[in-house]
Amino acid sequence: MKPAVFEYHAPATTDETVALLAEFGDEAKLLAGGQSLVPMLALRLAAFEHLIDLRGLDELRGIESTPDAVRVAATTTHAAVGRSAEIRRRVPLLNRATPLIGHFQIRNRGTLGGAVAHADAAAEYPTVALTLDAEIETLSPRGRRVIPAAEFFTGMWTTAMEPDELLTGVVFPVWRGRCGFAIEEFARRSGDFAMAGAAVAVRLDADSRIERCAIGLFGLAPTPVRASGIEAEVTGRAVAEVDPAELGRSATAALSSVTGDVHGSAAYRRRLGATMVARAWRRAVEEAGDD
């Protein structure tokens, strides 16, 4: 099949982009890497009267560091994120999530901002943003806005962004101290979307007690989710007292609902999720303990 007819726009600035969004509203769609959007258009699972191409906006590409965070501009590709020594050193979880995204062809074209804005519940970057308490920056005719990741993902493929808002970048806080990070997922084939996955960040104090932790789950619900209750339960405990398998079961049991489909029942996905949490927890704790 071929996409339905649309009008193509190639703005030269972000201000021009948001003006187009304000003019066309829900009839317009932004095109970044196109690795999710183009197949949907080709299959006519989605149709828009106006397509706004962001590839000419140099201001939406690049990686910047501050003392406390790393900012990734919206159209920075997955491949650029994966190659960045700064991200590897300061935001390891984001670096480790990158090779799990599709295949290298997809990573060469797909963008971090596009992945976050697409808000697929089985995707890695939205989960990393949620797990690390990232902030999503947007621009609209009303000015700039910062949306905490905890408030950004509102439903399946939906976010807190307004129709005239452009995602301009994502800011990832830097964790310091005895920290460990890991991401684990299960997919039917390499490059497929995950049936279940978990991202874990943990920081230990000098006595190997859990000073801070974050557990993100993906592929199990309409949005990526945090196991906030379980995080609170284990914080302050000696890391040796935490059983990874039990932690995984508790994290997935706390989910109000788990989605099943033709690839696996809800119960099966819940068990997979528990296993992914346990694996990621072990790896993260091992890394933190080595510091």
Chain segment 168-217, per-residue pLDDT in tens: 999 999 999 999 999 999 998 887 888 999 999 999 999 999 999 999 99
Q: Helix 244-253 and helix 266-290: axis angle, to 10°?
A: 140
| pLDDT tens readout for residues 157-171 | 999 999 999 999 999
Backbone angles phi, psi at 206, to 5 degrees: -65, -25
Three-class SS of residue 3? coil
**C-alpha dist (Å) from residue 43 to 1, 36, 46, 72:** 6, 11, 8, 31
Comma-separated ranges of CATH 3.30.390.50 domains in the chain: 178-290
Task: Look at the domain 61-173 and name its fold.
Answer: 3.30.465
* pLDDT band, residue 1 (cuts 50/70/90): low
Query: Does the structure show a pLDDT above 90 at 261?
Result: no
Comma-separated ranges of CATH 3.30.465.10 domains in the chain: 61-173
Query: Does the structure show a pLDDT above 70 at 284?
Result: yes
What's the pLDDT score for residue 47?
Answer: 84
Comma-separated ranges of CATH 3.30.43.10 domains in the chain: 7-53
Yes or no: say if 182 and 280 are a contact pair by the CB < 8 Å rule.
yes
* pLDDT band, residue 291 (cuts 50/70/90): low
Nearest to 134 by CA among 102, 176, 88, 169: 169
Region at 201 (left for phi over 0; alpha for psi -120 to 50; beta for the rest): beta
Architecture of domain 7-53: 2-Layer Sandwich (3.30)
- Compute the average pLDDT of residues 246-255: 94
Q: Which long-range contacts (CB under 8 A, 24 or more apart) does 60-64 make?
A: 60/14, 60/113, 60/168, 60/169, 63/87
Q: Percent of the chain having pLDDT more than 90? A: 80
> Which superfamily does 178-290 belong to?
CO dehydrogenase flavoprotein, C-terminal domain (3.30.390.50)
Three-class SS of residue 18? helix
pTM of the model: 0.94
